[in-house]
Structure 1
Amino acid sequence: MRRIVRWTGWCAAYAVGLVLLLGAGAWTWWQGEPRASGTGTNALWARHQWVGEAHTGAEYRAFGRLLAQNRITDVYFHAGPVESDGTVPAVKYRNAPALLKALRTYAPGVRAHAYLGQIRKVDGHGVIEIGDARVQERILRTDAALLDLGFDGIHYDFEPIYPDDTAFLRLLERTRDLAHARGGLVSAALEQPTLADGLQPVFKALAPRVGAGHYPPRPTERYLRDVADRADQVAIMTYDTEMPTQALAGWHFAHHTEEVLRLIGDRTTVFLGVPTYRPVTGWAENLEVALRGVRRGVDALPRPPRRPFGVGVYADWTTRPADWARYRANWLPPGT
């Protein structure tokens, strides 16, 4: 028994020492100033009220100035959520024509995307099953109606998406064909990629053997490339790190930035999601840490991606003037 207690104590001490060593290493790494500056290609997730409610000319002008000042090139206007049958009642986006007209006047060159999403059915829970052929047809009809109104693209945020989800890939293919025929774009929001693809089968094996299981819905390298080959833009939801220190949160953003841009930066436009909300957990995460982490990730690349890239600000309804000032100071290229 004494030997067991001693052995347990040594294991605990070793684990604590390893954690402290990793923390110290992360802190030392975090002290270096990023060399890379940000870019002038950036996205913003915008609240539903822009398409669902009327606004004044002054509000549209102010929004246009905000987009120009912060070098926002793409705005994902929430136009859903999608109903379980794949439709979106037109009353939900009744203000879209006025919004799109105002953007052409006050924010020329900014692309307005209709942002559609819903909770996928998994193990009997959730709202929508996009693998159902009838549901997918109605989603496409909804897309066509929004593109015909004047939106520049369709942005999907269906969750969860597992790395064996062929239905989502098929929907992307069909949406791309539909959007391109109208001169539009298709984009997709995805969770952060796996830290190690080899762990996904382990999680799946340990999950309850029902439906898709409950293993983390993280895209593998192969699935991320499959999505990138079907989408004009991929936005990675890099936030919600739940890290206890700024160094570890910064490492999280840097790691995913480097990996995602290395994997798909030559295939599609990439936006790395950065938060302006106040997280419930992971108190070290904030906008400055995220932006610095993204820049450190760009530093680690052997060369810049061939396609445009930037950050996606989540979200316009949580971003205060002070946050925009931090964003400009920590991200936009000098002289902008």
Structure 2
Amino acid sequence: MERKGRVAGVLGRALRWAGWTAAYLLGLAALVLAGAWVWWQPEPQARGTEANGLWARHQWVGEPHTDAEYRAFGDLLKRNRITDVFFHAGPFEADGTVPAARYRYAPQLIEAMREYAPGVRAQAYLGQIRVVDGKGVIDLDDPAVRERVLESDAAFLDLGFDGVHYDFEPVYPDDRAFMTLMDQTRELTRRRGRLLSVALEQPTLADRLQPVYKALIPRTGAVHYPPRPTGDFLRAVAARADQVAIMTYDVSLPTRSLAGWHYARHTRATLELIGDRTTVFIGVPTYRPLMEWAEDQQVALRGVRRGIDGLDRPPRRPYGVAVYAGWTTRDDEWARYRSTWLPRTTESPAG
């Protein structure tokens, strides 16, 4: 009986500790949610800026369009003060090539852009799944593959594209082959007087956690530690690219205030880190995210504005948002973008 009593006492104390711990954690979560809600209430002061991007569907280069469709698209770009359009033109094949049939209508697109959206830069949006530990499609560690990627880039520049926009995923901070390709592409685009831009994942919340992720979550199969740019990596990319677009979306946070904090935090941190070095676009979604009730275009734009409000001074280089994506943006979302983001001026933006 005495032994049973001791066991019952131990179990009782353990249950009490578990209860206290659960209550503490719930209280802490409630404080975080309440604090985020209070922070989220004031209306941001910042408005839109000198540069705005748009990721556009592959059909613009892969399918025929009427003159009326080109004209309407040009009007949309001008009305919404888009300075750069990333036209999906790939993806790369495993060997670094892009079959010409995949972008057979690119010449007509470029001609229409010059006529109906003069001054708006049309960039070839090219990328592929990066080979990591034997998994993926394109192996950038192979110099021959990188050479064919450059040949493909040159072909798009020959067609009249104003730049090359890379989106290779995943890219880790220790990816030397990717940095080599960036160096090689920069030589090509600068020689031609064109742009090099790149889409990257959201930066790390804390660089010190990357070694922990790497140790605990090995890069094997479909599971790997997050391919988040560290501060040093982001600065190195910014030194090579004319523009950096941060894919800030897919937040997966449960409330609008927390999702807004995510956008504000990444906007401020990225602009403070590289805003003096290169043009920065903060990606905002118009597709339907997994947690649609928490993350949408309205939350993203408000969060970006709150992040800009938090800066001690504006960056020296142009900055703005990039809308993902052109094919998912409704008329009411474009109207909200104009009313909440664009500057209250009729002057043309400079990119």
* TM-score normalised by L of structure 1: 0.98
Contact kept? 2:218, 2:225, Cα under 8 Å: no
Counterpart mapping for 1:1-336 below 5 A: 1-208=11-218, 214-281=224-291, 283-336=293-346
Amino acid at match of 2:243: Q
Contact kept? 1:257, 1:298, Cα under 8 Å: yes
Deviation at 1:209, TM superposition (A): 6.8
Q: Write the deviation string for residues 293-330 of structure 1: whole angstroms up to 9, x where unpaired.
A: 00000000000000000000000010111110011011
Matches of 1:38 and 1:155 in 2, distance apart?
Answer: 22
Instruction: Tell me which residue corresponds to 2:7.
Output: none
Q: Considering only CA atoms, is the larger Rg found in Structure 1 or Structure 2?
A: 2
Deviation at 1:41, TM superposition (A): 1.2
Does the residue aligned with 2:156 lie in a helix, a strand or coil? helix
Matches of 2:23 and 2:241 in 1, distance apart?
Answer: 48
Deviation at 1:243, TM superposition (A): 1.2
Contact kept? 2:133, 2:219, Cα under 8 Å: no
Instruction: Tell me which residue corresponds to 2:8.
Output: none
Do the aligned partners of residues 82 and 209 (structure 1) sit closer, same or farther apart at CA in structure 2, a change above 3 Å counting? Answer: closer
* TM-score normalised by L of structure 2: 0.94
Does the residue aligned with 1:145 lie in a helix, a strand or coil? helix
Contact kept? 1:262, 1:305, Cα under 8 Å: yes
Deviation at 1:212, TM superposition (A): 11
Deviation at 1:283, TM superposition (A): 3.0
Q: Write the deviation string for residues 33-76 of structure 1: whole angstroms up to 9, x where unpaired.
A: 11111114100000000011111110011001000000000000
Contact kept? 1:242, 1:282, Cα under 8 Å: no
Matches of 2:232 and 2:133 in 1, distance apart?
Answer: 25
Q: Write the deviation string for residues 92-122 of structure 1: whole angstroms up to 9, x where unpaired.
A: 1110111000110000000000000111112
Do the aligned partners of residues 209 and 181 (structure 1) sit closer, same or farther apart at CA in structure 2, a change above 3 Å counting? Answer: closer
Contact kept? 1:40, 1:332, Cα under 8 Å: no
Does the residue aligned with 2:293 lie in a helix, a strand or coil? coil
Amino acid at match of 1:132: D
Does the residue aligned with 1:236 lie in a helix, a strand or coil? strand
Do the aligned partners of residues 210 and 106 (structure 1) sit closer, same or farther apart at CA in structure 2, a change above 3 Å counting? Answer: closer
Matches of 1:209 and 1:192 in 2, distance apart?
Answer: 18
Amino acid at match of 2:171: I
Matches of 1:218 and 1:313 in 2, distance apart?
Answer: 21
Does the residue aligned with 1:72 lie in a helix, a strand or coil? coil
Deviation at 1:4, TM superposition (A): 1.2
Matches of 2:140 and 2:163 in 1, distance apart?
Answer: 19
Contact kept? 2:286, 2:333, Cα under 8 Å: yes
Contact kept? 1:41, 1:72, Cα under 8 Å: yes
Unpaired runs of at least 5, structure 2: 1-10, 347-351
Deviation at 1:124, TM superposition (A): 2.4
Contact kept? 2:219, 2:225, Cα under 8 Å: no
More moved, 91-100 vs 201-210: 201-210
Contact kept? 2:254, 2:294, Cα under 8 Å: yes
Do the aligned partners of residues 211 and 239 (structure 1) sit closer, same or farther apart at CA in structure 2, a change above 3 Å counting? Answer: closer
Amino acid at match of 1:242: S
Do the aligned partners of residues 310 and 211 (structure 1) sit closer, same or farther apart at CA in structure 2, a change above 3 Å counting? Answer: same
Matches of 1:23 and 1:143 in 2, distance apart?
Answer: 47
Matches of 2:69 and 2:219 in 1, distance apart?
Answer: 52
Deviation at 1:156, TM superposition (A): 0.3
Unpaired runs of at least 5, structure 1: none
Contact kept? 2:53, 2:281, Cα under 8 Å: yes
Fraction of identical pairs, as percent: 69
Amino acid at match of 2:339: A
Deviation at 1:282, TM superposition (A): 5.3
Deviation at 1:180, TM superposition (A): 0.8
Q: Write the deviation string for residues 213-261 of structure 1: whole angstroms up to 9, x where unpaired.
A: 7110000000000100010000000000011111001000000000000
Give RMSD over aligned pairs.
1.3
